[in-house]
Amino acid sequence: MTRLLDARTSQNASIANSISIPITILSQPGLFGQIGLNVSGATGPIRTQLSGTVACQLPLLPAATTITITIVRGTALTDPVIYSSSESLNINLLGPQLFTFTASDFNIPAPASSLLVYTAFIGSNLLGTVRVGPESFNGIAYSD
């Protein structure tokens, strides 16, 4: 029988246009969410479901802009990537543009501690792109 181990949310901004955080260039993505799931009660393979949303806005001088979201199991970009996607911003839309994602991680090795950490990063290929909110990162861990 599958059972829920833990569920967490990293809510950085709950309301549209409530923040103004520049997105750094693609080679140095910025952290926008991090969660730690307690998996101490796992009796079999661990599975997680991750989801999130982040709103971005084009630079003041609109140009072709690509946003990349990367989710790792751990805390650093060098940790195992379990999800990555890139999407172009609509150059004809000057207001906020919302990106949502859903990711899964299956047959996860038992962590050294009872905490399984996931970190969400965001990058852009063009300086001047801004995170404007809302943004959140959610995770649920299951085991047999």
pLDDT in tens, 97-129: 999 999 999 988 777 789 999 999 999 988 888
122 in Cβ contact with 129 (< 8 Å): no
Compute the CA torsion angle 13, 47, 79, 85 (nearest 10 deg): -60
113 in Cβ contact with 36 (< 8 Å): no
Report whether the peptide linkage leading into residue 134 is cis, meaning its omega lies within 30 degrees of zero.
Answer: yes
Give how far Cα 97 sits from Cα of 27, 40, 46, 106, 127, Å.
22, 38, 34, 30, 16
pLDDT of residue 73: 96
Q: How far from the centroid of its chain's Cα atoms is residue 14's Cα?
A: 15
d(C-alpha 144, C-alpha 4), whole Å: 9
The label of the residue with tokens 């969400």 reads: 120
Per-residue pLDDT reduced to its tens digit, 6-27:
999 999 899 999 999 988 775 6
Question: What's this model's pTM, rounded to 2 decimal places?
Answer: 0.92
